Amino acid sequence: MASLDTTQLILAVLAILIAAVVQASIGFGAGMIILPMLLWAGMEMGPILALMSGAVIAQLTVKLWHYRKEIPWRLVLWPVGIARLIGYVPGFALLWVLANSSTDIVKQAVGAMILVALGLQLGLRIKPREQLAQGWGWLAGFTGGVTAGAVGMGGPPLVLWVVAHDWPAKQARLFLWASFWFVMPIQIVVLVMMFEPATQLKMAGIGALTLPIAMLGTAAGLWLGHRIPKRQLRWAMIALLLVLGVTSLVEPML
């Protein structure tokens, strides 16, 4: 796919807007929104992931530049960051398998991944503590690398690991932002090598250009967060993700 048609471009912008609202509201879920919506629009996995990567780099560069002196880089890189890079190896192998599979199989794999991620977010009751065994960091990073490489959903394992720490909200956000940001250039390079280079670079550029849309969605999500009770807003956003996951899983069977 060398370019986006008008419908796909509109859906891509809409998906990024909705994803930004959800991410700002409940702290996760951007990839769970964008990927199924663009698969339904007829786009392929490679271009979708390039679009997402470009959008993430643009958004997080703006945020991290503002807090550049406060980023806990040592914590970001070890052990979670290194483990995530290792997890990318099998993750990209899975992406190659999915990219060469039928659209129905890809949709079902994405739907299953969304439901598993939601199940972990809702089912695990984690008691925050000051410090975790290093092995949990390796597990979270590796799992996040596999899922990020395969379907662009590396957030849930890292979010669960962060929630298990009794960190202030600002430290948690900076850790997650930096963790996602530093691997995105690597992801784009691999996508360019795996798929048609010109298309991947173009899609990453389009993703970066959606920065104003993403910032608008973030502002809307924060605005909702101040006006709707947090519990109700969280369940509304989770319900949206659940509908997307179930639809992606079941629709190919119907």
pLDDT tens digits along 90-107: 999 999 999 898 888 999
Query: What pLDDT, on a 0 to 100 scale, did the predictor assign at position 28?
Result: 72
- Domain tally for the chain? 1
Computed over its alpha carbons, how large is the radius of gyration of the chain?
Answer: 17
Query: What pLDDT, on a 0 to 100 scale, did the predictor assign at position 120?
Result: 81
Exposure string of 141-152, with b = 16+ CB inside 10 Å and e = fewer, is: bbbbbbbbbbbb
CA distance 25 to 145: 24
Which domain range does residue 124 map to?
6-253
Specify if 192 maps to a domain. yes
Distances (CA, A) of 123 to 22, 30, 216, 254: 20, 20, 31, 29
Specify if 190 maps to a domain. yes
Specify if 112 maps to a domain. yes
Q: Which of 182, 183, 196 is nearest to 45 (CA)?
A: 196
CA distance 98 to 110: 10
DSSP per-residue codes, 210-236: THHHHHHHHHHHHHHHHHS-HHHHHHH
Query: What pLDDT, on a 0 to 100 scale, did the predictor assign at position 3?
Result: 59
Q: Which pTM does this prediction carry?
A: 0.88
Query: What pLDDT, on a 0 to 100 scale, did the predictor assign at position 181?
Result: 93
Bridge-partner residues for 165, per DSSP?
A: 129
Specify if 229 maps to a domain. yes
Q: What is the token pair recorded at 241?
A: 């993700």
Specify if 182 maps to a domain. yes
Q: What is the token pair recorded at 64?
A: 């991290």
Q: What is the dihedral of CA 186, 190, 191, 192, to 10 degrees?
A: 100
For the four alpha carbons of 233, 238, 240 and 241, in that order, the dihedral sign comes to positive
DSSP per-residue codes, 36-101: HHHHHTT--HHHHHHHHHHHHHHHHHHHHHHTTTT--HHHHIIIIIHHHHHHHHHHHHHHHHHHTS
Ramachandran assignment for 42, one of left (phi > 0), alpha (psi -120 to 50 degrees), beta (any other): left
Give the chain's residues under pLDDT 50. 1-2
Specify if 1 maps to a domain. no
Query: What pLDDT, on a 0 to 100 scale, did the predictor assign at position 83?
Result: 96
